[in-house]
Amino acid sequence: MRSKKRTTIYDIAEKLNLNPSSVSRALNNSSSVNDATKKLILKTAKELNYTRNTLASNLRKGHSKTIGVVVPRINQNFFSNVIAGIEDATYKQGYNLIICQSNEQYEKEVQCVNTLINQHVDCIVISVSVETTAHDHLQNVLDHGIQLIQFDRVVDELETLKVTNDNEQSSFDAVSHMITQGYKRIALLEGPQKLNIFRQRKTGYLRALKEHGIAPIADLMIENAWTKELSAAATRQLLSLPEPPDAIFASTSDFSALGVLEVATIMQIKVPQQLGICGYANENFTEITSPSITTIDQFSFYMGKTVANLYFQEMENTDTVVVPKVISIKPKLITRASTTRE
């Protein structure tokens, strides 16, 4: 299918024997064009089925009214909620969203970012991939004078606007809660420690143990258990220990927690009596497993809105100096059956 020629302001101008500039002004509701002509132009525009060519307009105006978003995976609950939140806020301001997914690959992330730079987006919002350690590509965004906002998984070294969860605190809360419930040997399933969020969660875990006078045990901390399968394997390993844990904090995700639960069920270990389980992210299934799983809500939709609003707020700020601003959202522990023993 070949697209037909679209009507432009020149077409309208020609038809009405006017200058394109007047048409443009009328369309932008400028006060320096006569009301009668304005009405006529608007009417003709409608007749000719005119729509503004945003490409041309943006080129002239020097901005694109577009925000680029890079996430590891679009179809992951947390991220799709954040995106929904961003969309909700930006839409009202007439902004568009270009969405890319890095698929957790550094190479693709770099490509995505570069494409967005080419597109001359006004702002790039990113949550980095697991593989990302270098950050030249992000520096590059800054070098192009494009606003950069990091969220959730952020590169600490880079001074940009950031919206994060207070992972350490929520992790601390979760572990403290488990201790209060009488669990004594709490294991930790860790995510890749490259990512700051997983480091923070570990810190929170350790702090909680320390504050309750419990010595951390190396054998109870398993690295890189960040998928359901890896967690299931880790759980088997943990439960076959001479002194197995009486609780497992799957700090990486609810999917991990699910893996733990499944193994426990198979091994006929009673949850929460013999084993407490806590996940992370408040996926909707955590409510309906049996037993339901204690987890942590990250307020993802709200997080998206916060990101967008941070941008708009920063926009209005005419100062040339960018003050790196970090907004930390405190996640909420949701206690459910999997850690509740009376």
User: Where along the sequence are the contacts to a second copy (CB under 8 A)?
Assistant: 1-4, 6, 49, 51-56, 58-59, 64, 66, 73-75, 77, 80-81, 83-84, 87-88, 91, 94, 96-101, 114-115, 117-120, 140, 143-147, 258, 262, 284-285, 288-290, 301, 314, 317-320, 322
Instruction: Confirm or reject binding of residue 114 to DNA (CB under 7 A).
Output: no
Candidate ranges 50-58, 236-244, 281-289, 292-300; the one touching DNA (CB under 7 A):
50-58
Cis, peptide link before residue 272, omega less than 30° from 0: yes
Q: Which of 304, 235, 313 is nearest to 276 (CA)?
A: 235
Looking up tokens 């002239």 gives 60
Q: Rule CB under 7 A: choose which of 39, 43, 52, 184 binds DNA.
A: 52
Q: Which is nearer to a second copy, 96 or 169 (CB)?
A: 96
21: contact with DNA by CB under 7 A = yes
Check: CB of residue 66 under 8 Å from CB of residue 95: yes
289 touches, from a second copy, DNA, none (C-beta below 5 to 8 Å by class):
a second copy
The interface region with DNA, picked from 13-21, 199-207, 257-265, 316-324 by CB under 7 A, is: 13-21
| Kind plus residue range of the DSSP H or E element containing 161 | strand 161-165
Sheet holding 247-250, edge to edge: 221-222, 186-189, 247-250, 276-278
Contact 311, 147 (CB under 8 A): yes
Smallest gap, in angstroms, from Cβ of residue 55 to DNA?
A: 7
Residues 6+ apart with CB under 8 A from 309: 89
Choose which of 15, 42, 48, 57 interacts with DNA (CB under 7 A).
57
Q: Which of 3, 29, 32, 318 binds DNA (CB under 7 A)?
A: 32
Quote the CA–CA distance of 62 and 192 in Å, as a whole number: 41
Peptide bond into 291 cis (omega under 30): yes
Residues of this chain that interact with DNA (CB under 7 A) are: 5-6, 8-10, 17-22, 24-25, 27-28, 31-37, 50, 52-53, 56-57, 59-62
